[in-house]
Structure 1
Amino acid sequence: MSDFLFAPDHLADEEGGPLYFRLQTLIRAAISDGRLPANAALPPERDMASSLGVSRVTVRKAIQGLVADGVLRQRHGSGTFVSRSGGRVEQPLSRLSSFTEDMKSRGLVPTASWIERSVGMPTSAEAMILGLAPTERVSRLHRLRLADNEPMAIERAVIPARILPDPMIVTNSLYDALTSVGMRPVRAVQRLNAENVGSADASLLGIAAGSAALAIERISYLPDGRIVEFTRSHYRGDAYDFVAELNLTEAPPR
């Protein structure tokens, strides 16, 4: 079906704007009416350019714009695909919740592919952040987080071993595991910045090396003020939006 869509006469309307924009419109319409369903693969750029009679630069510009809008997604080495229904995931910054809770609340199925679950000595930076004594150990939880089988984020969590001595009890939700031992955090401080992911993380996320990602550091606290979690995550920039609601506080009357 996708081969039929990308025929030369489909871009013939010169009043439709630049060629790349007309191609974007064609793809959006095909997704909207179901001719390109979720997770459908698009032909390679070279094939699309040849079929449409346009340059690969035009095709690449059209696809890059749709990827940025969350309409399409790219997996490095695999190709370009139609994003799942609903497009990008929005996560409010005003609520402390786990990835599992976030995805379930949106009707998505959260899963994880474990990279590491171990107990060991912290780095000097981790020990300082967590407020650990020199001999204390930490549990490490490194995993790829997926929603409806689509890679979304790489999460690297460090928990004091006195709080979580056995990282193997974490099967899906870290916060569920912490709740089971009476150690669920009640507040957190997050720091966000943009980073370009390296080749190893890019391969896990299914994106090109050097792609933009949202790097997030989270430090979570127990009711008594102790730090329970230090997590550093990289979220796919083309699939995840973080949203903050801001309220304007009016100055009191004089």
Structure 2
Amino acid sequence: MLSLLRLRDDTAMPLYRQIEGQLRDLILSGSLPPGVILPAERQLADSLGVSRVTVQRAYAELSEDELLLPRGRSGFLVRRRPEPVRPGMDRLKGFTEEMRELGKVPSSRILERAVAEDRSIASIFGLPSTAPFLKLTRVRSGDGVPMSREVAWYNIRAVPALEGADLSGSVYAFLAQHETGRLVRCEQTVEATMPTAAECEIFAFEKPLPCLLIKRHSYNRDAVMVEYVEGLFRGDAYRYRVDLTR
């Protein structure tokens, strides 16, 4: 790795910026692939003939951008960044179908499942405050990489079979088997937000990174609202694509 670094003294660019820029290019180009351990700060500084502070600043910049992960005295690990996904927003589909269309293997981990009453959620559905809902909190992954944390609420009055259903797979596939559960329309909003500490842990973020908060209201053919979901999608891997025509 050291043979790939070339420091110049005929430029105004600070040494730490030269080191940081060259390492960044090597990482992003794949010349330094994920899993490679870079030398510890003092070792690299001695090899390059610069101060430890110079290397420390370069490593800090790369760590801030989630390219490196400190490994104590062993050095710094080149991180494996999730491959960006670019799903379309041209039709109503669930996460499972979306991942399969992108050539990824979808999976889910249920964090919470409960039948509950919630006054604020009931108002979103336009139902009485005593209406029961199925609350389902899940971590959704593609190829084993956590892509989103979603909290979904389902209208049990519209689809009673939801209460005892096996929802370890696609909820949308289950709903499609029931006449009153088939979703035909949704209203969706996308906004930027920052993850909580718990969400950072799920996504393995060293520090909070911008995420996409997607809120969806889904309806059956009788215009009955069946689902309300808030999904937090990691901003470093998720890019929504919208095709517009005139």
- Would the TM-score normalized by the shorter structure come out above 0.5? yes
Q: What amino acid does structure 1 have at the position aligned with 2:196?
A: G
| 3-state SS of 1:82 partner | coil
Return closer, same or farther for 1:184/1:81 CA change in 2, 3 Å cut-off: farther
The CA deviation at 1:168 is 3.8
List per-residue Cα deviations over 1:45-89 (Å, max 9, x = no partner): xx4544443422222324555x5xxxx5979xx9752235xx201
Give the direction of change, closer, same or farther, for the CA distance of 1:134–1:27 in structure 2 (3 Å limit): closer
**Is contact 2:110-2:168 (8 Å) kept?**
no
Give the gaps of 5 or more residues in structure 1. 250-254
Q: Distance in 1 between matches of 2:231 and 2:57?
A: 33
Secondary structure in 1 matching 2:130: coil
Computing the radius of gyration from Cα coordinates, the structure with the larger value is 2
User: Is residue 21–residue 62 contact of structure 1 (8 Å, CA) maintained in 2?
Assistant: no
Deviation digits for residues 145-174 of structure 1 (CA, Å, limit 9, x no counterpart): 111111110011000112144154212111
1:73–1:177 CA distance, 2 compared to 1 (3 A): farther
The answer for the alignment partner of 1:252 in structure 2 is none
What is the RMSD computed on CA atoms of the aligned residues? 2.7
Query: Structure 1 108/167 Cα, relative in aligned 2: closer, same or farther at 3 Å?
Result: farther
Which of 168, 171, 178 is equivalent to 1:171? 168
Name which of structure 1's ranges 190-199 and 15-24 shifts more when overlaid on structure 2: 15-24
User: Quick check: 1:60 aligned with 2:60?
Assistant: yes
Question: Residues 93-121 of structure 1, C-alpha deviation per residue, up to 9 Å, x if partnerless?
Answer: 22211110111112211111110111111
Identity of aligned residues (%): 25
SS of structure 2 residue aligned to 1:240: coil
Which among 189, 199, 202 is matched to residue 201 of structure 1?
Answer: 199
Tell me, yes or no, if structure 1 residue 125 matches structure 2 residue 123: no
**Superposed CA offset, 1:24-46 (max 9, x none):** 121233x2x6x62xxx33537xx
- The residue number in structure 1 matching 2:133 is 138
Moved more, 164-173 or 237-246: 164-173
> What is the alpha-carbon distance in structure 1 between the residues aligned to residue 176 and residue 68 of structure 2?
35
Could you tell me which of 43, 49, 54 is aligned with 2:37? 43
Equivalent residues, number: 224
> Aligned residue for 1:223?
221
CA contact (8 A) 1:74 1:207 kept: no
Pair 216,79 (structure 1): closer, same or farther in 2 beyond 3 Å:
farther
TM (norm. structure 2) is 0.80
Shift of 1:188: 0.9
Distance 2:23 2:178 in 1: 54
User: CA separation in 1, counterparts of 2:219 and 2:78?
Assistant: 40
Q: Name the residue aligned to 2:48.
A: none
Q: Tell me, which stretches of 5 or more residues in structure 2 are unaligned?
A: 46-53, 71-75
Counterpart of 1:24 in structure 2 is: 24
